[in-house]
Structure 1
Amino acid sequence: MSRKKDQAGTFELLTQLPQQIVTLVKIEYENAKREILSKAKKAGIGAGAIIIALFFVFFMLEALVIAAIAALALVWPWWLAALTVAVALLLLAAAAIFAGVALIKRGNPVPEETLERVGQDLSAISEVRVNAEPSVPRPDATKPPSPRMPQAGQEGNWR
């Protein structure tokens, strides 16, 4: 059989394989880095939003605390009015913390998309067969199928 000059032979393709694997690893590393930065940016924006909200809430609460204590002091003693307002402020702070934690958790820095692609690459590589025969259905279905990779000492073993 003759092959065209622009087609690579088996040995040429095998010599290119290590470089292609290195290139694939570098690309997946860059993808993981980019994905982590994107998720970290989202988490940072969430944390910044929490800080800004707490800043405005602090100054707003000064005015509201004074107004609430003054209003409650009309019907209760001033100390009970102040205690009631303090408990309400504590509950509001807890709600803000839970909302902030939820925003930060959304920015999980695990590169899930990259890990999925690497898993697909590994499964594709595992499909490569050494000295594989064409997949033709065997007439004798009672024989067990031959293993995908040759065992130690068998012909075709790369060890």
Structure 2
Amino acid sequence: MSTSADYPPPRDTGESVGELVKQASEQISRLMRQELRLAQAEMQQKGKRFGLGGGLLGGAGVFGFVALQAVAATAVIVLDLVWPLWLAALAVTVVLLVVAAVLAAVGKKQVARATPAAPEQAIHSVKADVAEIKERARR
């Protein structure tokens, strides 16, 4: 528990309560604008990284798709040695559809679990500011 000995005595600055409230209001307003600028800068940085990563993943997807086509053609040719061509092609198609269904289900589950993008530093900073303001208001 704190006592009056824990805090320095108030200074007499000669300013009225109205002036002090006005200054506090201006400081809080300035602080909130700074926090919003921080959040905006943080989200812009995350957006740039997301865009670059998405572009690279898209390029990898294109090359992976072409490679998958080559693997499918190779599998059909190999199975054609044992089965008729139509059956080999059908078997490869069914396997590819099953893999696609499994990937889609897992992907959908991951997207559902994803948390929304948030400016974490700005949120933490605002919480710290609010706690500091509450603490000072109690004094």
CA change 1:13–1:85 in 2 (3 A) is same
**1:9 maps to which residue?**
13
Q: Percent identity?
A: 35
Give the alignment partner of residue 37 of structure 2, picking from 27, 30, 34: 30
CA distance in 2, matches of 1:127, 1:28: 19
Shift of 1:22: 1.8
Greater Rg over alpha carbons, structure: 1
Which residue of structure 2 aligns with residue 127 of structure 1?
A: 135
Is this contact kept in 2: 1:40–1:109, CA < 8 A?
Answer: no
Q: Which runs of 5+ in 2 are unaligned?
A: 1-10
Q: After superposition, what is the alpha-carbon deviation per residue over 1:103-134, rounded to whole angstroms, capped at 9, x for unaligned?
A: xx58x42112211111111111111246x5xx
Tell me the CA shift for residue 25 of structure 1. 0.9
CA distance in 1, matches of 2:123, 2:131: 12
Number of aligned residues? 120
- Counterpart CA distance in 2 for 1:93 and 1:45 is 28
Please, what is the CA RMSD of the aligned residues?
3.1
Summarize the alignment of residues 100-139 of structure 1 with structure 2, pairs less than 5 Å apart: 105=114, 108-129=116-137, 132=139
d(CA) in 2 for partners of 1:128 and 1:120? 12
Whole-angstrom CA distance in 1 between matches of 2:48 and 2:14: 46
CA distance in 2, matches of 1:26, 1:52: 39
Q: Which residue of 1 aligns with 2:6?
A: none
Larger % of helix: which? 2
1:128 is paired with a residue of what secondary structure? Answer: helix
Where in structure 2 are the equivalents of 1:68-147 lying within 5 Å?
Answer: 68-90=75-97, 91=99, 95=103, 98=107, 105=114, 108-129=116-137, 132=139
Corresponding residue number in structure 2 for 1:143: none
Measure the CA separation in 2 of the matches of 1:16 and 1:85. Answer: 74
Higher RCO (CA < 8 A, seq sep 6+): 2
Give the TM-score normalised by structure 2: 0.67
Provide, for residues 2-43 of structure 1, a one-character-per-residue CA deviation record: whole Å limited to 9, x for no partner: xxxxx9826365543222212211110011111112222232
1:94/1:37 Cα in 2 relative to 1: closer, same or farther (>3 Å)?
A: farther
Question: Structure 1-normalised TM-score?
Answer: 0.60
Quick one: which of 16, 40, 46 aligns to 1:39?
A: 46
